[in-house]
A and B are shown apart, each in its own frame.
Chain A
């Protein structure tokens, strides 16, 4: 038997037993008995007192029974539990995995892992709160569902019906599994159950994790002092499953109408042979048989990579790839892609512009490169505009995409520090930014670089000794690349990296964000009319997106994979695809052990009905009370 709160029981026993004994010494219920003379008795007592400073505690059944009652009460407060009957104590947190892998149906009865996890959770609620007030654990239970994020489905409560309702309302997601948000939330609630109290209340609760154990970030987490984690495993160890790891489409650089589709598939376990079907706007354009690949010895899965096409697609299209086979998770057998229309590069520039820059942009073979006289003449239909900072002056850039040379216009979050322009070399670069990929700047020298300083939200792509040299920023409604010095006052145009920089900047500035695919858990961000709304349609979903004054709206995190569409002001539908291609989440093999940093938690039988022994102790107390009453009456 274990005690979840031994200190409380000890404190109670220490507090009440001495007073009880004292009361027995001081005050007894004595039966009135007439005697012929009390003289001899009085003398006898005086003799005893003369011989002993204290009256010895005599053996009395009533005293023994009362001590027994107090010890039982103390034992009850110490929350005894039969060893092997679980750890659910006064406060229990049921953490239910609702990630994508919990959609698997490898449980043998056609039901998903999540449904089984709910059954386990309901059984735990029955065990913790069933049996009425006598046998129910007096503690509270909380329900969390977790995937990419953690959601409090039910705060700490003693209501079994509320817990059941919350558990049954948990919906599956396609998100990745992350333990960190769930543990953080659980600990926050476990140590402060009173929202009115600014101080932590109570000790750690028992966390019961109901999951398939595929929690990658759990290995970086560790149990805190006094924390206990119980693992209820769901799912089988050897599922058979196909899933997608890659789904991408590329237009040919020379002929953007030609599209190739790249597919990557993961085969886990004894995945059966199947067929890949590629659909474009719902019509099948290609099929390919796939067979179980050989699995490397040290890998839990095998890979299949396919390139389908090329296909001629003159406009944007919805691509859909599907594995036609019977496996343990149908949910990951389908992926979508929103292919943007062909987008030939169209650039406009504000004159004057140096010949070197013009030459550099024309080398990108744009579909259009047009010059205008001033910023007021900039028109629509271009991917971005190239201009000199002097052409803007002190005015604020209108919404749009810009590549700016020779200075920094106002209101971009870039300020000029004190000091005069001075020669500079590149001290650091943000190589991970798309604009800086492959851009060598080792030999770049600037004759007079003003001391620019980036503020929050602005990425400093190149840094000199006195401040930033090149910046990238995405303020509201804009996407801007700023070169803070005049390239003609440097040797940059003569370096090979300059063309690469122009090419990357043009690609980044002409990028169509709407073409991006999303992963479950991402936030869908949409631009629209300031203060307006848009309608989002998704799998089993219809929601409204509100745009702020800057015209930015968002929805998320996205819970399920599928095809989403946004309609703004009854206009045309903009398509989005949400796919789960994370290999870790798509693997289904259930883990027997939860591996944490410094400890491992073995699975616990989920069918084990676990009850507190408090009810039996209360019954024992009642029995002792009845016995004591009987003895008292018998006297």
Chain B
């Protein structure tokens, strides 16, 4: 078994993708939007659009043309000033899942792409069951056409089929792909990007996702071989060949190199995290060796993506 070679067989059914009744245990979960978002149609989610909702948001000065029904006369009586009550309009929440399908994802043990697809399926099912609008996009690789406008728990099947048919191969221009998705017209909501972010343009992709008005979550999936290569069998004089690119780098694994690598990994994590935070998003780094339930019920819930 070569270093990083995947032992896991490729799943062919939804059950194999989410084994052990994992999906059944997600019924009480929901995707959390920390900010009000504007949806395309009325839904269960607070909207940034003020107006016809039931939940009071704020007062603002009256402007000609405002609906007089929303003028707060009590305030006028006290302050002799016309103010308009602004309500938060409840709209539906769009959840966009961006799945990195570049060749670098199809590596590691447990396989990163399998882990990401499993997580995407869970998140998608959670969103569908919660009545949110779901979009699924593949970044690179060989993926079926993007899914958009999925709503309702019954749409879990096409979601799983999409995920099962996706193939991680080739290269991906992460920044371009994310930019294309995030600037789409179909509402704004929560954008979850599942990627190892090892692309040189990972930070740019995060920036683009956040700039499109999405509440961006980057779930960085890394395998143990990437997190701690020394402890997972990387040793000797090696010629490291990039699975996405034709270039290679020759290394001799020793303690100082491993320390340098970890330092680089930490620096890379900090860079992406700072970019994500600057754009108002969140980064959660996931180890593919972790139990998916642990990830869903602990890490993501604690992180605030799920509740």
Which residues from chain A sit less than 8 Å from chain B, CB to CB?
A: 28-45, 47-48, 55-56, 58, 635
Contact = CB atoms under 8 A, between A and B. Distances in A.
Contacts of A36: 4, 104-105, 107-108, 112, 196, 198, 223, 226, 242-244
B231 interface: no
B28 interface: no
Given A35-B107, A47-B263, A48-B260, A40 B239 contact: no
Contacts of A58: 252, 254
23 contacts: A33-B2, A33-B241, A35-B107, A35-B240, A35-B242, A36-B4, A36-B223, A36-B226, A36-B243, A37-B199, A37-B243, A38-B240, A38-B241, A38-B242, A39-B200, A40-B198, A40-B268, A41-B240, A41-B261, A45-B257, A47-B260, A47-B264, A48-B257
Specify which of B5, B108, B252 lies most central, judged by the most chain A CB atoms within 10 Å of its CB: B252
Interface of B: 2-5, 104-105, 107-108, 112, 196, 198-200, 223, 226, 234, 236-245, 247-252, 254, 256-257, 260-261, 263-265, 268
B274 to A, nearest CB: 17
B238 A33 contact: yes
Contacts of A40: 198, 261, 264-265, 268
Given A34-B4, A44-B260, A58-B254, 13 more contacts: A31-B239, A33-B3, A33-B238, A34-B5, A34-B241, A35-B240, A35-B241, A36-B104, A36-B112, A36-B243, A39-B200, A41-B261, A45-B257
Contact of A43 (B199, B248, B264): B264
Most chain B CB within a 10 A radius of its CB, from A29, A41, A55, A635: A41
Contacts of A44: 257, 260-261, 263-264
A31 B112 contact: no
A33 B238 CA distance: 6
B288 to A, nearest CB: 11
A34 B251 contact: no
A35 B263 contact: no
Nearest to A28: B237
Nearest to B247: A38
A45 B108 contact: no
Given A37-B244, A40-B265, A30 B237 contact: yes
A45 B4 contact: no
State the majority secondary structure of interface residues on B: mixed
A44 to B, nearest CB: 4
Given A38-B247, A38-B249, A58-B252, A31 B237 contact: yes
A48 B258 CA distance: 10
Given A35-B243, A36-B108, A37-B244, A30 B263 contact: no
A58 B235 CA distance: 12
Contacts of B240: 33-35, 38, 41
A42 B200 CA distance: 12
Contacts of B239: 30-33
B236 A635 contact: yes
B252 A55 contact: yes
Q: Name the residue in B4, B223, B236, B244 with the highest tally of chain A Cβ atoms < 10 Å from its Cβ.
A: B236
Contacts of A43: 264
A314 to B, nearest CB: 107
A38 B199 CA distance: 10
Contacts of A34: 2, 4-5, 107, 240-243
Contacts of B236: 30-31, 635
Nearest to B198: A37
A406 to B, nearest CB: 106
B243 to A, nearest CB: 5
A28 B254 CA distance: 15
Contacts of A35: 3-4, 107, 240-243
B302 to A, nearest CB: 27
A41 B256 contact: no
Nearest to B242: A38
B107 to A, nearest CB: 4
A58 B253 CA distance: 9
B238 A30 contact: yes
Nearest to B222: A36
B291 to A, nearest CB: 22
Given A30-B238, A33-B240, A41 B226 contact: no
A30 B237 CA distance: 5
A45 B251 contact: yes
Most chain B beta-carbon contacts within 10 A, residue among A35, A41, A43, A635 = A35
Contacts of A32: 238-239, 241, 248
A420 to B, nearest CB: 104
A68 B236 CA distance: 20
A41 B242 CA distance: 10
Most buried by A among B226, B234, B242: B242
A39 B198 contact: yes
A6 B268 CA distance: 57
Most B CB within 10 A of own CB, among A28, A29, A33:
A33
Nearest to B104: A36
A28 B238 CA distance: 9
A255 to B, nearest CB: 109
Contacts of B249: 38, 41-42, 45
A30 to B, nearest CB: 4
Contacts of B242: 34-39
Contacts of A30: 236-239, 250
B198 A41 contact: no
Contacts of A29: 237
